[in-house]
Amino acid sequence: MSKYTNLTIIKIIKKLRNILQSKNPSVIALSTASAVSVTGLAFISPVILLLKSSYQISSNEVQLAITIYLMAICVSQMFWGPLSDIIGRRKVLIFGAALFSIGGFLASLNVSFEIFIFFRFLQGIGAAACLSMPRVMLTESYGATEASGKMSTLLAFMAIFPILSAAFGGLIGEIYGWQMNFITLFAFGFIVFLLNYTYSPETIKNKGKKLSLRTTFLDFRSLLGQNAFLYFSGVSSIQAAFFFSMAGFMPYQFERLGASPSEYGLWFSLTSIGYIIGNIISKSYSNRVGLNKFALFGSSWCFLSIALMFLSEVPLISLPLTLASACFMFGLGNGFILANVLVLALSSVEKKRVGSASGLLGAMQMLCGAMLGSLIVFVGGDQQFWLALTILLSLSIVSILCCYRAFVI
């Protein structure tokens, strides 16, 4: 073994020792955990049709694989925060990762669809812990300035993982069957568990502080009575719901256009790529233009993008590329909107209620996503693509009006 190799190994060992002895959690470990929730959705979307065929169920029933998952995240976010105040952030995070992992393994077994949905619900509960804890732990571990930089890494992971999940989810499902997708989620959850068990120490300083349910209720009631918060959270919830609902009905349209599950995963991943590019553009120009104006522009852009999806029904250009291009444009518009309305929503409330506002906003996004996806499939939007797009266009108009109303307040 060469002297250079020995020095390299020694450097790696020293770095690992520094990480283990660090009082602050690993940013990579927390960022990976934050990507659990979106991975659990994007990795399953390409195999929705395989699930439907395997269980021989209707579109409404297979939609539960997405709806139940989102509902579990929505509800669980409401109690993971208060519970972490009592028992600690680290315990909640590693328990959530373990629950997500176990749920993935159990869902891969040859069980009835009802039991499968229950295991999917468990995955959602675990994913909620992985979604909510990393942001809090970063904020508690680093100062405001440093935490902002660390948060960009976390957000980058949350943007990149859906791309990889959609691309590889369809490929794995098509070659090995949908069960392998859940085995992969089991492995991913286990890796997240190991990373945070090893590299994420406790960050809360005053464990045992109990949060009054009455105080939480009063905070939520106060937030729901503030017009600016309602308008901005409405825009955020509608736009996030668009993406979540597309994960449920887009596979059907891509199949009609001749795309296989693996091809669908690759095409639909353009939505997330567009979102990343939109975020970069927003970061560069939104402060110059104004956050509200840029969000209004983004809402209008999304309306146009959804309208362009109708082109996939035109015979001469009825191609996966046509629809994927419109999805890319939609992702771009989402990137223009979401970060800006999140800042606007949280800045419109009192500082003492920012934590409650953040939790309520996240829950509203998941709830709207679950409800919209189920509504579209229930009315037949999975089979009649124009019907799904009509619903999205109607809500897109609501989003534009909410932006405008918030602008004139």
CA dihedral 226, 296, 244, 267 (to 10 degrees): -170
The per-residue pLDDT for 226 is 82
Alpha helices per DSSP H over 177-212: 178-199
Task: Return the domain boundaries, the chain.
Answer: 24-210, 212-409
For the stretch 39-97, pLDDT in tens is: 999 899 999 999 999 999 998 899 999 999 999 998 888 788 778 777 888 999 999 99
Task: Give pLDDT < 50 ranges for the chain.
Answer: 13, 16-17, 19-21
Average predicted confidence (pLDDT) for the chain: 85
The per-residue pLDDT for 19 is 47
Architecture of domain 212-409: Up-down Bundle (1.20)
Options 1.10.760.10, 3.20.20.100, 3.40.640.10, 1.20.1250.20; CATH of 24-210: 1.20.1250.20
The per-residue pLDDT for 32 is 92
| Half-sphere exposure of residue 164: CA atoms within 13 angstroms, side-chain side | 14
For the stretch 191-233, pLDDT in tens is: 999 999 999 888 877 655 555 566 667 777 787 888 888 888 8
The per-residue pLDDT for 227 is 84
Task: Please answer whether residues 19 and 164 qualify as being in contact, where contact means their C-beta atoms are separated by less than 8 angstroms.
Answer: no
The per-residue pLDDT for 16 is 47
Long-range contacts of 325-329 (CB under 8 A, 24+ apart): 325/270, 327/246, 327/250, 327/267, 327/268, 327/270, 327/271, 327/274, 328/270, 328/271, 328/273, 328/274, 329/274, 329/301, 329/304, 329/305
24-210 and 212-409 have identical folds: yes
The per-residue pLDDT for 186 is 97
The per-residue pLDDT for 151 is 66
The per-residue pLDDT for 24 is 78
Taking the CA atoms of 162, 42, 403 and 232 in sequence, report the sign of the dihedral they define: negative
Sorted by sequence, the CB contacts under 8 Å of residue 253 that are 6+ apart come out as 312, 323, 385
